[in-house]
């Protein structure tokens, strides 16, 4: 695919549109529809193919009405990165006008044809393209059909008849799916900004190399600070940015100099010389606010690597800029945040940088961004009021920092005597100011290499003092060497204790950009007082278990519960080297997805205390005398045992992790809940091949089940078993008892078997199956269990029982492709595909009647 025509039409020194570059999505193909007010209002419809966006201009916009056929004029290919473009194309440029992202999402080829990307390109060439859109506004099947005999580039965009078809006007949903603004709002804002001298300065020819141009010099401005808060939130009036784990850096760029400063005006020029050198490309007088970080190879900012960079100069140094304070001598702090960021993006679009980046943001979706940050092991997110001005040197609740990783700045107030083979010192004592009073917050003895011990000791030695800087006594038996409270360090920790001490602190490095007087409780931490237990204590979020990778046993607080996690380094999957701790971490990550399908259901515990290659055992009856009192259990009468059994009920994350710590690799809930124990919420068809390598038989059988259920006008869902088969669930909403469900299951199984008798059987006896796939409908009995959706399985690779879209049930599918190593990214993209299983469900009386009629006809 060529982007030469796209590049030829644009002057990238004037327009913010991205330069043409071949790029592809990691997995699913994307589509985007942009609403574009150029010389004439139209909608640009774009489909990703072969590294570019195939594009059509749709004058009247798309429609969900199959009777309405929209003219679509094919235009030049656009680059993949154009999918996010929103803003103003300046006058005098091709396509001048305002653009919003009206809709976006992923798309697949027509489900019936099941074609891949090569097939899509072939169909495009033939002039007839069918596809399924999964957008925020456009959903379901569409076609693009080329018109022959008219203009060469004329096509029709047509909606097909399906459950998403409607005669309502979808164009009335007129807001951007990114910024939540209408095109009219964007146009009004663009007009307002272009009237300001600041934007004219960006677009002007003013250059520091022009001696005749009179420019007012910019000077350092103390940065605005954020207030801490505990919980993420959604709000359309707020934007959300990544929280970077580095040094806050203000860049002051004048015609004859570039200066980098810490928040306290300490020069960073020598420390971050590559950034300072690159900023010389900017031929405007500006003041920028951002964060300098060093990223590891995975692209994650790492504060310890930043510390090492200061010594060695080795690492991926980057400067993320999130605000603009001065532009060509004009102070722009009174503009709204979104206006300042718009100016900043226009400015940055003029230059090509290697180490300097515009800090992107999203609007309104704080919960989603916080979850993404958690999965990326980021430090957290920053929430900012979209219409707020910039308060120079002040801390404001218009900016909120919401941390994931528990990190704190602390003052080093002493060291303890070294023990055993350790040199220099044993641990550092930490403090923080509470008003003017310095308070002890704990000691830290981990995170030090021998070279760090030596270097830190040499920095602290000149500050040794005989007098404690604290008013109270420290409850330690160690021999202490006190240190004047002038040195600030960064530590990570598991939680704050009730007496305001850090639990499990780990040394990360020194903060050369902070003064000791700034390290206070009210500014950066969650001090717990006698009068008020803060949200940190009440709803302590799960510590990122990656922090405990090397710890075998440790305590972990989840909500109000402290879990004692044991043997986390024990290998559970010998061939893959996967540990018990990694299984616990997976369930921590996936808890919000799996819990709805465990809630209020009795659990049959299948425990693997020594991993998948050693014997396991089932446990149903919980010994109440030996388990924590906070666990929820339910007595259920067992006819086979003729007694009550205390079943464990998993309704929260702490119980889920407790089970994982017991060695429950997989989660096996009942099909019914304790609220309606005799009526299952779904019917299950378990498809397991006679031979492990016969998965093509499983696929064919599953497709036949779907065919039967479609004829019965009944929804069914499919997931991998995580082993060798597939599970198909039919939602029933607990309307019928187990006996009725078992009858329905048998009728469906017999109908499917009658259509593919050569490869399937309903024969229960293994000897009589003749190596055919057994359609197991007997799972629909009281007390029977199957692995829950999103459950890990005790199979090589740590496979996961993964919900599927029916379009994925094809010859490319295999259960082994979904493991704990890759499914989280999939779940983030697709969301919870299993939700419909908890819906009201079908009318089985009608289904049974129709099935019986079919059997009689045969």
pLDDT attached to residue 330: 81
Domain total of the chain: 5
Here the tokens at position 234 are: 């959604």
List the single range of 20-34, 265-279, 515-529, 534-548 with lowest mean pLDDT: 534-548
**Residue 111 above 60 pLDDT?**
no
Interatomic CA distance for residues 532 and 411, integer angstroms: 25
- Above 50 in pLDDT, residue 106? yes
Does residue 115 register a pLDDT over 70? Answer: no
What is the CATH classification number for the domain harbouring 828? 3.90.920.10
pLDDT at 542 over 50: no
Confidence at residue 492, expressed as pLDDT on a 0 to 100 scale = 81
279 lies in the same domain as 337: yes
Give percent helix, percent strand, percent coil of the chain, each to the nearest 5.
25, 30, 45
Task: Identify the three-state secondary structure at position 847.
Answer: helix
The last residue of one of the domains, among 343, 373, 403, is: 403
Contact by Cβ (8 Å): 142, 133: yes
Residue 836, in any domain of the structure? yes
Asked whether residue 788 is domain-assigned, the answer is yes
Does residue 552 fall inside a structural domain? no
Note whether 261 and 271 are within 8 A (CB): no
Q: CATH no. for residue 425?
A: 2.40.50.140
Helix axes 738-755, 695-711, angle to 10 degrees: 110
**Which pLDDT value is given to residue 395?**
83
Planar angle of CA 3, 9, 11, nearest 5 degrees: 105
Task: Count Cα atoms within 13 angstroms, Cβ side, for 114.
Answer: 11
- Tally of CB atoms within 10 A around 778: 16
Structure tokens at 51: 């590294």
For residues 494 and 499, give the distance between their C-alpha atoms in angstroms, rounded to a whole number.
Answer: 15
Give me the domain span that covers residue 585.
564-669
DSSP string covering 782-814: TT-B-PPTT-B-SSTTTBB--EE-GGG-STT--
Q: Can you tell me the mean pLDDT for 598-609? A: 93
Percent of the chain with pLDDT over 70: 91
444: which strand partners? 428
Q: Under 8 Å CB-to-CB from 724, ≥6 apart: which residues? A: 688, 689, 692, 695, 698, 815
Complete edge-to-edge strand list for the sheet that includes strand 717-720: 760-761, 773-776, 682-688, 726-731, 717-720, 803-804
State mean pLDDT over 615-633: 85
Is the pLDDT confidence value at 212 over 50?
A: no
Q: Residues 692, 724: contact at Cβ < 8 Å?
A: yes
Task: Label residue 793 by pLDDT band (50, 70, 90).
Answer: very high
Give residue 203's pLDDT band: very low, low, confident or very high (50, 70, 90): very low
Question: Which phi-psi region, left, alpha or beta, contains residue 841 (left: φ > 0; alpha: ψ -120 to 50)?
Answer: left
Residue range 278-300: average pLDDT? 89
Q: Rounded CA gap, 419 and 59, in Å? A: 77
Please tell me which residue, 419 or 411, carries the higher pLDDT value.
Answer: 411
Q: Is residue 348 part of a domain?
A: yes
- Per-residue pLDDT tens digits for 53-79: 999 999 899 999 998 888 888 999 999
Residue 502 and residue 432 in one domain: yes
Q: What is the pLDDT of residue 522?
A: 53
Instruction: Give the confidence band of 555 by pLDDT, cuts at 50, 70, 90.
Output: confident
Quick one: 756 and 622 in the same domain?
no
Using CB atoms within 10 A of its CB, is residue 485 exposed (0-12), middle (13-18) or buried (19+)? buried
The yes-or-no answer on residue 243 being catalytic is: yes
Same domain for 489 and 568? no
Cβ–Cβ < 8 Å for 821, 665: no
Q: Is residue 297 part of a domain?
A: yes
pLDDT score, position 182? 87
Q: Lowest-confidence range among 52-66, 491-505, 507-521, 695-709?
A: 491-505
- Least-confidence region, from 18-22, 389-393, 737-741: 18-22
**What CATH number did the domain enclosing 272 receive?**
3.30.470.30
Kindly give the pairing relationship between strand 561-565 and strand 554-558. Answer: antiparallel
Domain endpoint, select from 153, 186, 219: 186
Per-residue exposure over 352-370, b if at least 16 CB sit within 10 Å of its own CB, e if not = ebeebebbebbbbbbeebb
- Pair (790, 808) in one structural domain: yes
| Signed CA dihedral, 619, 623, 624, 630: sign only | negative
pLDDT of residue 487: 94
398 and 309 in a common domain? yes
Q: Are residues 33 and 124 in the same domain?
A: yes
- Rounded to whole angstroms, how far apart are CA atoms 754 and 663? 42
Q: Is pLDDT at 538 greater than 50 in this prediction?
A: no
Q: 347, 374, 403 — which closes off a domain?
A: 403
Q: Is the pLDDT of residue 397 over 80?
A: yes
Q: Is 376 a member of any domain? A: yes
| Mean pLDDT computed over 318-333 | 90
CA end-to-end distance (rounded Å), the chain: 54
3-state secondary structure 547-609: HHCCCCCEEEEEECEEEEECCCCCEEECCCCEEHHHHHHHHHHHHHHHHHHCCCCEECEEECC
Q: Are residues 614 and 692 in the same domain?
A: no
Cβ atoms of 400 and 229 closer than 8 Å: yes
pLDDT at 197: 38
Burial environment of residue 457 by CB neighbours within 10 A (0 to 12, 13 to 18, 19 or more) = middle
> 26 in a domain, yes or no?
yes
Both tokens assigned to 764: 């229960």
150-179 tens-digit pLDDT:
467 888 999 999 889 998 899 999 889 887
Q: Is 403 exposed, middle or buried (0-12, 13-18, 19+ CB in 10 A)?
A: buried
φ/ψ of 653, rounded to 5, equals -65, -40
Residues 801 and 817 sit within 8 Å (Cβ to Cβ): no
CA distances to 11, 222, 404, 831 from 545, rounded to whole Å, are 49, 36, 12, 23
- When pLDDT is averaged across residues 358-373 and rounded to a whole number, the result is 89
CA distance 2 to 17: 17
Pairing between β-strand 395-403 and β-strand 225-228 as defined by DSSP bridges: parallel
pTM above 0.75, yes or no: no
CA distance 613 to 619: 19
Classified as helix, coil or strand, 441 is strand
Using alpha carbons only, what angle is made at residue 849 by residues 848 and 854, rounded to the nearest 5 degrees?
95
Assess whether 583 and 480 both reside in one domain.
Answer: no
What residues have CB less than 8 Å from 598, skipping those under 6 apart? Answer: 650, 651, 656, 667, 669, 788
pLDDT for 649 equals 96
At 732, list the tokens.
């029933």
Residue 648 and residue 734 in one domain: no
For residue 635, the tally of other CB atoms under 10 A from its CB is 11
**Both 84 and 178 in a single domain?**
yes
The string of pLDDT tens digits covering residues 456-506 is 999 999 999 999 999 888 878 889 999 999 999 988 886 777 678 887 788
Cα gap 704→853, rounded to integer Å: 19
Task: For residue 793, give both structure tokens.
Answer: 């399985």
Q: How confident is the model at residue 659 (pLDDT cuts 50, 70, 90)?
A: very high
Residue 539 lies in a domain: no
pLDDT score at 217? 80
pLDDT of res. 509: 87
What is 248-299 written as a DSSP string?
EEEEEEETTEEEEE-TT--B-TTTTHHHHHHGGG--S-EEEEEEEEEE-TTS
State the catalytic residue, choosing from 83, 159, 243, 385.
243
| pLDDT in the model for residue 857 | 63
Same domain as 658, residue 695: no
Above 70 in pLDDT, residue 49? Answer: yes
């Amino acid at each position: 695919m060529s982007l030469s025509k796209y590049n030829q039409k644009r002057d990238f020194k004037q327009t913010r549109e991205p330069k043409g570059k071949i790029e592809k999505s990691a997995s699913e193909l994307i589509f985007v529809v942009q609403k574009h007010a150029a010389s004439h209002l139209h909608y640009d419809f774009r489909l990703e193919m072969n590294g570019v966006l195939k594009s059509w201009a749709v004058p009247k916009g798309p429609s969900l009405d199959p009777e309405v056929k929209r003219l679509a004029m094919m235009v030049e290919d656009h680059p993949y990165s154009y999918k996010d473009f929103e803003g103003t194309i300046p006058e005098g440029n091709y396509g001048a006008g305002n653009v919003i992202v009206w809709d976006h999402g992923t798309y697949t080829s027509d489900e019936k044809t099941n074609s891949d990307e090569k097939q899509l390109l072939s169909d495009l060439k033939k002039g007839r393209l069918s596809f399924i859109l999964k957008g925020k506004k456009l959903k379901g099947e569409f076609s693009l059909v080329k018109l022959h005999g008219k203009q060469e580039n004329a096509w029709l965009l047509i909606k097909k008849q399906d459950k998403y078809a409607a005669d309502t006007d979808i164009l009335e949903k007129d807001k951007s799916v990114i910024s939540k603004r209408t095109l009219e709002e964007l146009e009004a804002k663009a007009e307002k900004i272009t009237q300001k001298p600041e934007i004219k300065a960006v677009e002007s020819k003013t250059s520091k190399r022009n001696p005749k141009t009179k420019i007012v010099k910019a000077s350092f401005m103390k940065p605005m600070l954020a207030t801490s808060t505990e919980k993420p939130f959604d709000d359309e009036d707020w934007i959300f940015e990544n929280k970077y784990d580095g040094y806050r850096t203000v860049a002051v760029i004048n015609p004859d100099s570039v200066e980098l400063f810490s928040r306290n005006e300490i020069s960073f020029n020598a420390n971050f010389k590559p950034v300072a050198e690159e900023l010389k490309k900017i031929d405007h007088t500006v003041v920028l606010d951002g964060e300098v970080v060093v990223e590891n190879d995975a692209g994650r900012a790492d504060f310890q690597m930043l510390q090492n960079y200061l010594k060695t100069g080795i690492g991926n140094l980057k400067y993320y800029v999130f605000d603009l304070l001065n532009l060509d001598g004009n102070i722009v702090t009174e503009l709204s945040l979104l206006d300042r960021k718009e100016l900043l993006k226009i400015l940055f679009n003029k230059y090509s940088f290697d180490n300097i980046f515009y800090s992107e943001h999203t609007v309104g979706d704080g919960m989603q961004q916080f979850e993404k940050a958690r999965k990326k092991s980021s430090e957290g997110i920053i929430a900012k009021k979209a219409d707020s001005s910039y308060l120079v040197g002040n801390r404001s609740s218009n900016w909120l920092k919401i941390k994931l990783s528990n990190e704190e700045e602390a003052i080093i107030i002493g060291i303890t005597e070294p023990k055993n083979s350790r040199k220099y010192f044993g641990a550092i004592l930490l403090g923080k100011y509470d008003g003017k009073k310095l308070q002890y917050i704990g000691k830290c003895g981990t995170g030090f290499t021998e070279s760090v011990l030596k270097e830190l000791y040499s920095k602290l030695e000149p500050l040794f003092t005989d007098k404690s800087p604290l008013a109270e006594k420290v409850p330690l038996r160690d021999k202490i060497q006190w240190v004047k409270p002038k040195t600030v360090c960064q530590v990570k920790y598991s939680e704050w204790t009730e007496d305001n001490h850090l639990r499990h602190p780990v040394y990360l490095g020194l903060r050369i950009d902070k003064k000791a007087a700034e390290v206070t409780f009210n500014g950066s931490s969650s001090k717990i007082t006698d009068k008020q237990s803060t949200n940190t204590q009440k709803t302590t979020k799960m510590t990122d278990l990656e922090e405990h990778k090397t710890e075998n046993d440790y305590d972990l607080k989840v909500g109000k519960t402290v879990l004692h996690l044991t043997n986390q380094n024990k290998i559970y999957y010998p061939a893959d080297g996967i540990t018990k701790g990694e299984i616990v971490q997976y369930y921590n990550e996936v808890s919000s997805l799996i819990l709805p399908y465990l809630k209020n259901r009795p659990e049959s515990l299948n425990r693997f205390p020594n991993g998948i290659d050693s014997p396991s055992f089932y446990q149903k009856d919980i010994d109440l005398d030996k388990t924590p009192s906070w666990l929820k259990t339910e007595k259920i009468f067992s006819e086979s045992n003729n007694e009550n059994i205390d079943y464990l009920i998993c309704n929260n994350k702490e119980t889920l992790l407790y089970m994982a710590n017991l060695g429950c690799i997989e989660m096996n809930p009942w099909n019914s809940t304790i609220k309606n124990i005799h009526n299952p919420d779904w019917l299950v068809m378990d498809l397991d091949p006679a031979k492990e390598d016969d998965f093509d038989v499983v696929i064919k059988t599953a497709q036949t089940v779907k065919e039967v259920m479609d004829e019965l006008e009944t929804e069914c869902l499919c997931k991998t078993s995580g082993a060798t088969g597939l599970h198909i669930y039919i939602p029933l909403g607990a309307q019928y008892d187990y006996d009725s469900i078992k009858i329905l299951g048998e009728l469906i199984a017999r109908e499917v078997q009658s259509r593919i008798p050569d490869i399937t059987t309903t024969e229960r006896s293994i000897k009589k199956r003749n190596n055919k796939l057994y359609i197991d409908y007997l799972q629909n009995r009281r007390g029977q269990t199957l692995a829950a959706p999103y459950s890990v399985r005790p199979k090589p690779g740590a496979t996961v029982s993964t919900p599927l879209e029916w379009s994925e049930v094809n010859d490319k599918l295999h259960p082994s492709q979904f493991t704990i190593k890759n499914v989280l990214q999939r779940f983030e993209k697709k969301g919870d595909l299993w939700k419909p299983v908890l819906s009201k469900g079908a009318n089985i009386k009608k289904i049974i009647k129709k099935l019986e009629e079919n059997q009689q006809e045969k």
